[in-house]
Structure formats: C-alpha cells, structure tokens
Amino acid sequence: MALPWLAAPWLWLCWLGSGGCLRCGDERLVYSITFAKDAKAARCTQVSYNRTKPILLQHPCSQYHFWGKQKISVYLGKDVFISMTTFESSLSPLSIPEELEAKEAVVSAIAFVHTDRVSMVINGRVYLYFKSPDRWVPSAGVSSSVSELSNVHCCYTGEDSQCKMVSWTLFAYDTGHSVSDSHIFLSKDGGYTFTRVQISTGEQGVLLGVYNFISFGLTGLLINRTEEDETGKAAGAYFRYFGTENNHMSSYSSAIFHLLSKGPAKLWSIHSLGLRGFIILWTTDILLISSNNGLIMDEVTVMPTKKFQNTTFPDSGFSLVTVSRSEIAVLTQDRQIFYGSLSLVTTVVYIATDKSIDLNTTVMLFEERGWLTLLSPVISNFSQLYDFKKCKFNLQLAIWRSQQSCDVEILEGDFQNKIYYIDMHENLTLNATFVPKPGKRSIPLVTVSNPHVLAFSAKILEIGFTYDGNTKYLLHIDLQQQYFSGFAERDFCDGLLDGEISTVTVDIPDKGIGCVDVAPLTALVAVSCPPTKHIRIFKNITACDKGLIQEAVLKNNFSYTISYEIYDPQFLARPNIQQDNLQIKYDFKNLGCPLLVYYKNPWVPILELWENGAFQKHVSAEFVMFEINGMHNYDYLLTASDVNCFSQPQNWTALLKEQESPDPHTAWTRRNYMSCKNRNGPELKWPSVKYQVLGGGKNKIIFPPYNGLYVFKAIIVDTFYSYCDLSITFSIYVYGAFPRSYLNFQATLISLLILILLLILTGYFLPHLSLKKIHPKVKVF
C-alpha cells in the first residue's frame, strides 16, 4: 500500500535568465506503510546497472488505458528497481539468487516481453524475470556472451495473433564486433528459448544494433563503418535491411549518417512508438530521429525562443531522452529541459533549467500526456526499502508561457489505436475530423509505415461549422492492398502470400509545439487474414432430412466400416493393398448430419464465405478436396484437355509424393498452387489426365454405384482469393445405388443364354410332340 505525502519543496524549474522559477505542479514523496512483501530475499546478489547515469524504461503499452492498471517500469541506476505501479510505492533493489549469479550481477540490457515480466542481460547471460511471483528463469539457446536486447510491442486494441506475437519476438546480441563475427540470437517465445540467426552479408563494419521493423516487414542491422569501403561508400553508420526472399528490400541499405562523433559511447535506442516507423538513437553527444524505420536519420532541431535563441542543443551533451506515444523530452548535461512532439519533422523547444537536478539519480518519464515527471529514489528512514521523489511538471503551462501557438483546435477519429484488417481485393475506409483555428490553413498529412504493402487515397470535405463558427473538415481515407491498387509497379509490392502489417497515421506536421493536446491518430492495418473469416458448406438437403439416417443414431457413438478395397492410409489411391477394413467413429459434433448426394449426379459442394458471424458470399475460388480417411472410390468429371489447360495440372498423388511424410492437409495449399492456365508451367504431356481442381468451372465429383458415408476436406487453393487458409471438413451420404451382386458375371450370362436356348427349343418341338399324341383312328385330311 502506498500513500502519497506532500513533501517540502524539492525541485524548482527556472526560466533561463528570467530570475523566476516554476514550481512542480505535483511534488510528492511516495512511500509504503507495508513492506513485508518486498523484503529482500536471503542469499541473493544485488543487481546494478553498468552505466554511471541512470535511465528509466517504461513498458510501451503502459500509456494505453485499455492495458489495465499494471504499468511495469524499470529504474536502472546504481540500484535497479522494478515497479508495477509506476513507482507509487516503496521498493527494495532488485536482486538475483546467488546460485545464478554469485559475485556480482551487472545488467546491461532490459526488454519488456509481457505486462509483468522482463528479459534481462546480466553478466552476458539472458534471464527472464517474473515480478509476481519473484522468479528468475535462465533463457536457453544463447551460446555466447551478449550485451543487448531488442524488441517492439503492439499496443493496439483487438484480438490479433500477429499483434500478440510481436513483443514475444526478441533479439539478443553483442555489439562492438564486426558484423561477420557478431552473434545474433532470436527468440519467438518471449525470451524462454533462443536460436542462432545466420545472416549472410559481406558488410564491413561494427554491429551496433539489431531491430525488428515489424511494420516495415524487415529486420535492420545498425552498422558503423569507420572507413570508406571498396565501392566508395562513405564512412558512417547505416541500417542494412533483411527480410524474406520475396521482400523487395532484402538487401537494401539506409542513407549514411554520423552517430559516434566523439569516439565510442553507449548507444541508446527507442524503437517502440506505436509501430509508426519511428526510431530514436542517442548518445551523450548526438540525438537522431527517423520516422521511416531508419531509412533517413535526422538530427532533432530546437525552435528558438526569447529564452533560448539557438537552433541546436547545448554543447554540454545529452543526459536523458524519454518519449511517450507522441512526445519527447530531453535533459542535457547542463540540466536544461527541452520538449516537443514526435512528427515527420521533430522539433523541440526549451522549457526550463534547474541546476539542482542530480544527474546521477534523477530520471524522466511521461505518466500522462502533457505532464513530465522527474523521479529519483531515496533511502527510507523507516525500512531497508527505497522511497521515490516525484515532481510532475505541467508542460502545457510551460509551452503557453513560452508563447508557443497551436494552429489546430480539433483532430479526432474513431480509428485511434485500433486494429483493422484488409484481405485481398478489399478496401478499408477511415475518417478523421479536424478543425483549424481561424485564419490558419493547417492540413492533415496521411502516412503509412509500409507503402510496399498498403496504398491509400485521401480527400478533404467541408462538413459544417463548430459552435464557435469555425469550419469543420472531414478527412476521408481509402486504404487497400498495394498489390491490387494499381498505384505501383508489381516489383514495388510486398506481402503477397502471407501478408504484412502497416500503420496509418494522420498528423498535422505544422500544427505547432503548442498543440500538446492534439495527438496524432494512428491505426494498425493488418493486410492479412481477418481472424473471423472462414468458410462453411451449404447444406440444402441432408440424410437426416430424408430419414435415411436418424440424427439420434449419429449422436449415439455411431460408427461405420470402410472396405479395405477402397481406402489408402497414405492417400495415394493405391489399389489391392493388403489391409483390414477400417472402422470409423462418426464425429457428429463437428460434422452434423451428412449432406445427401445421389450417386448418379455429378456433384460439387457449394462453399460459403462467412465473417463476424454473418454470411458474405458464395465462394467462387478454386479449391481441392480429399477424403480424410483415404477413400478413393470417386473420380473427377473433366480432364486437363476439357478445361483447356496450357500446362500439366497438379494432382494429389504427385504432390503427396513430394513430401517426406505424405500429409494431404499441407500437400496442396494456396502457397504451392499452380494454375494449369499458366503458360510458363510444366509441359502438358498427358491431356487425358483427370483435372482435380474444383470451383470456378464445370468440374465435378462422380461416384460409383456405392452407398455410404464420405468425409471430405475442401481447401481453397486460389492464391489471390484470400490471405486466410480457408478449409472446411464436412460429410456426405451417397445413396441410390443397387445392392452389390456377388454372382459371377460370366456364369450368369452363360446360364441366361442356355435358358433362352431351351425356351426356343421348347417352343419349336412342343407343337410336333402335340401332333404325335393325336388318336391313331382319327384320319386327318
């Protein structure tokens, strides 16, 4: 339990040369009255940070209200503290059990992987730490010493598996070595296990960082080269991007920029800013920012004012840099504070100076928009715990007093911090409302973090007036997948098979630093499979409807037998296999009553597309089917010649034989489907082969004279229909065939012919035999 206590004046922020000071808007000493639960564990080694100046790390999602009350933060200094309440209670310094680290425990990097746990590098080894309960887990797979960790977070509302897995993707690596000698490890389970990443590159330079540019679909290596290379490329730092083979930027480099101007120094990076493409790099000597995933790094400039007339930061260097979703604050070595908004052109303004700030203990953080908190730990007078001094400073008031204007009254949209999905051939519409101040012509700017995946068009409409008489405008944004937009060349597009994500942001770059309350609007757009999209089978008539099978019977552990002659457990349709009959238990819960099919009618299922629990349309895409128990006593109506194939069509047998372990669930999918209408495919050598693709044409399934159950799985294989792996398993009951005859056909035919011959002979001789039996005394004329 924590109680705030209004302390004596602790921190005063003074205007440079003004002779006056601004007092903290909220100054407190935070401490606890109960501290048994935070008592320091026995036989532990206290953790410390390997830098002289402290820094505070906040979970990037802690400023989003929907993430709940827990807001994990880490204070890194001479002592390390982890708080779940943004330091609103007393804490004991972090310690690690002696059996893990006995002599000393020096932490060099921390990454958040969940709302209540962090991954740490201590003495070159990677650990997972769980705040509740207090538990340490060594990570597996990191075979060499590392010093850094890197990951990003997806903080948007919505249930998206791709978004949830973003923060679980974690890089561990060591810096200061050449790229070819550096060891990079990747974890996809939140730091439990790592695997070595092999990156083939001929880059000459020193590795400084590894970053997951997830909203750009790439991984970036930050490399620093001290000399000009053989191709004449200048010395300096740059990003080298890597991605999938289909990614257009798999071997692309950013522009050169200078990072270490005064020799080696600790490099800090801030990357998780709503996945908008922002990355901030800073040392004690330089502060750089990029809004396009590092493609172009720019220095942060200072807007001159009456109190601070320079356009650059003081030569003393930087002590701290902290950010929120859209704000940035800078503390210099000579204790001057600057503040600004993160934008395409990030500019800060001088706020105040306070010579009493202890740079060895004080850190900065944003707890809410427009308020900057200065925090430092102090030893408690009543326990072995540490209390925390907090000074919350009203930036909006400081901006107003520095006469910084705001040219915008309103910028709002209901898409803020939400996730949207765009499937193939689909569009998404977003609307934002903005109201500029009278006489101002500020116009919103729409940007996307990954233009190779997401395309957009925008227009502005005048929609009325506010109560004050100011003109209100509507920004209408239409988004679609870049590949189908027609706006770019095919070589420019990415994410065709598996999709990718991109953010879309609406901001007003020239709105002015005074617009503290006017934050950018950002949404995450997943150009991929919507999570609720699926297909269903249309059942017009079932066997239960006609009384051929009773529903109650199917529900009561119903089972049926498949003859050994008509199934192949390897799905290769092999005849005459020496095997037993197959007993199948019917899964009524997932299959329901089987669809009814007459054996003489060529048949194809009707598939329906559903999303958000509602029917969308009938599926017109190409699909394939197989019987899940290996039955093969059915065929296809058309041949390759019938459907005018230009190349040899794919078939189940060939695709299954290509697999080490034949699996029809994965053998033929939208990822390996090749249409026989492709003239660049394999030569058409067997035009009479049966065409096994259904949908989009007249091909159908034909059955032999057989009565019984089939359980089919239909798989959409059309590459350009949807990002979803659409499939459906369903059952049919084929009826109408006469019972099978067990008589020999030849013997039956011979017997029938003999019977006919006997009838003919009988018809011929019977009249003659009748005349001979007439009485002999009777004379016949």
Per-residue pLDDT of 556-585, as tens digits, reads 999 999 999 999 999 999 988 999 999 999
- Coil/strand/helix, residue 686: coil
| Rounded (5°) CA angle 82-320-323 | 75
Q: Among residues of the chain, what percentage have pLDDT more than 70? A: 87
* pLDDT the model gives residue 397: 80
Per-residue pLDDT at 741 exceeds 70: no
Residue 28 is assigned to a structural domain of this protein: no
Q: Are residue 608 and residue 705 in the same domain, yes or no? A: yes
Residue 718 is assigned to a structural domain of this protein: yes
- Whose structure tokens read 């919350």? 392
Q: How far is C-alpha 233 from the geometric centre of its chain's CA atoms?
A: 35
Q: How far is C-alpha 344 from the geometric centre of its chain's CA atoms?
A: 25
pLDDT in tens, 14-37: 543 343 455 676 778 877 766 544
For residue 630, give the amino acid letter: G
Q: Are residue 547 and residue 671 in the same domain, yes or no? A: yes
Residue 632 is assigned to a structural domain of this protein: yes
* pLDDT the model gives residue 196: 93
| Rounded (5°) CA angle 609-617-427 | 90
Tell which residue, 397, 314, 420, 319, has the closest CA to residue 351: 397
For residue 21, give the amino acid letter: C
DSSP secondary structure code for residue 204 in this structure: -
CB atoms within 10 A of CB 453: 26
Separation CA 280–CA 321 (nearest Å):
9
Q: Are residue 435 and residue 542 in the same domain, yes or no? A: no
Beta strands in 190-247 (DSSP E): 195-196, 206-213, 218-225, 236-242
Domain count for the chain, please give it: 2
Q: Do residues 1 and 34 touch, judged by C-beta distance below 8 A?
A: yes
Tell which residue, 498, 520, 497, has the closest CA to residue 509: 520
Burial class from Cβ neighbours inside 10 Å (0-12, 13-18, 19+) for residue 66 reads exposed
- Coil/strand/helix, residue 642: coil
Q: Which of 527, 561, 580 is the last residue of a domain?
A: 527
Separation CA 644–CA 468 (nearest Å):
68
Q: Do residues 724 and 630 touch, judged by C-beta distance below 8 A?
A: no
Separation CA 199–CA 769 (nearest Å):
105
Here the tokens at position 208 are 């400084």
Residue 220 is assigned to a structural domain of this protein: no
Q: Do residues 529 and 723 touch, judged by C-beta distance below 8 A?
A: yes
Q: Which of 473, 498, 527 is the last residue of a domain?
A: 527
Tell which residue, 708, 619, 690, has the closest CA to residue 651: 690
Higher pLDDT, 233 or 52: 52
CA distances in angstroms from 485 to 249, 426, 450, 566, 707, listed in the order given: 20, 10, 14, 48, 50
Q: Are residue 617 and residue 678 in the same domain, yes or no? A: yes
Model confidence band, residue 703 (pLDDT cutoffs 50, 70, 90): very high
Q: Are residue 700 and residue 581 in the same domain, yes or no? A: yes
CA distances in angstroms from 710 to 2, 149, 729, 736, listed in the order given: 66, 53, 11, 15
pLDDT in tens, 626-641: 999 999 999 999 999 9
DSSP secondary structure code for residue 267 in this structure: P
CA distances in angstroms from 546 to 87, 118, 736, listed in the order given: 70, 61, 13
Q: What average pLDDT score do residues 492-517 get?
A: 83
Q: Are residue 492 and residue 551 in the same domain, yes or no? A: no
Residue 401, C-beta contacts closer than 8 angstroms, at least 6 positions apart: 22
CB atoms within 10 A of CB 292: 18
Q: Which of 232-241, 279-288, 711-720 has the lowest mean pLDDT?
A: 232-241
Q: Rounded to 5, what percent of the chain is helix, strand, coil? A: 10, 40, 50
Owning domain of residue 675: 534-735
Query: Does an H or E element contain 589, and which?
Result: helix 588-591
pLDDT in tens, 54-73: 999 998 887 665 445 567 89
Here the tokens at position 778 are 């009777």
* pLDDT the model gives residue 247: 55
CATH number at residue 506: 2.60.40.2020
Residue 712 is assigned to a structural domain of this protein: yes
Q: Do residues 252 and 268 touch, judged by C-beta distance below 8 A?
A: no
Residue 484 is assigned to a structural domain of this protein: yes
Q: Are residue 570 and residue 686 in the same domain, yes or no? A: yes
Per-residue pLDDT at 497 exceeds 80: no
Please state whether beta strands 73-76 and 55-58 pair in parallel, antiparallel, or not at all (unpaired): antiparallel
Separation CA 495–CA 493 (nearest Å):
7
Higher pLDDT, 768 or 549: 549
Residue 708 is assigned to a structural domain of this protein: yes
Q: Are residue 538 and residue 518 in the same domain, yes or no? A: no
Q: What average pLDDT score do residues 93-122 get?
A: 90
Separation CA 341–CA 286 (nearest Å):
18
CA distances in angstroms from 190 to 108, 495, 504, listed in the order given: 18, 25, 27
DSSP secondary structure code for residue 33 in this structure: S
Residue 305 is assigned to a structural domain of this protein: no
Q: What average pLDDT score do residues 263-270 get?
A: 76
Per-residue pLDDT at 39 exceeds 70: no
* pLDDT the model gives residue 763: 73
Here the tokens at position 114 are 């969940």
Average pLDDT taken over every residue of the chain: 85
Helical residues (DSSP H) of 706-775, grouped into ranges: 745-772
For residue 178, give the amino acid letter: S
Burial class from Cβ neighbours inside 10 Å (0-12, 13-18, 19+) for residue 380 reads middle
Tell which residue, 251, 220, 61, 63, has the closest CA to residue 150: 220
Q: Are residue 595 and residue 702 in the same domain, yes or no? A: yes
Separation CA 236–CA 226 (nearest Å):
6
For residue 134, give the amino acid letter: D
Residue 766, C-beta contacts closer than 8 angstroms, at least 6 positions apart: none
Could you tell me the pTM of the whole model?
Answer: 0.84
pLDDT in tens, 534-564: 999 999 999 999 999 999 999 999 999 999 9
Per-residue pLDDT at 10 exceeds 60: no
Main-chain dihedrals φ then ψ at residue 753, nearest 5 degrees: -65, -40
* pLDDT the model gives residue 743: 45
pLDDT in tens, 288-331: 999 999 999 999 989 888 888 888 899 888 999 999 888 899 99
| Rounded (5°) CA angle 455-456-462 | 175
Here the tokens at position 608 are 């329906």
Tell me how far apart the terminal alpha carbons of the chain are, to the nearest angstrom: 139
Partner residues linked to 31 by β-bridges: 3
Helices and strands, counts by H and E, the chain: 8, 52
Higher pLDDT, 353 or 273: 353
Q: Are residue 649 and residue 546 in the same domain, yes or no? A: yes
Q: Which of 735, 750, 767 is the last residue of a domain?
A: 735
Q: Are residue 705 and residue 571 in the same domain, yes or no? A: yes
Q: Are residue 476 and residue 552 in the same domain, yes or no? A: no
Main-chain dihedrals φ then ψ at residue 543, nearest 5 degrees: -65, -30
Q: What average pLDDT score do residues 458-478 get?
A: 92
Separation CA 550–CA 544 (nearest Å):
6
Tell which residue, 124, 129, 128, has the closest CA to residue 139: 128
Separation CA 432–CA 414 (nearest Å):
7
Q: What average pLDDT score do residues 330-356 get?
A: 88
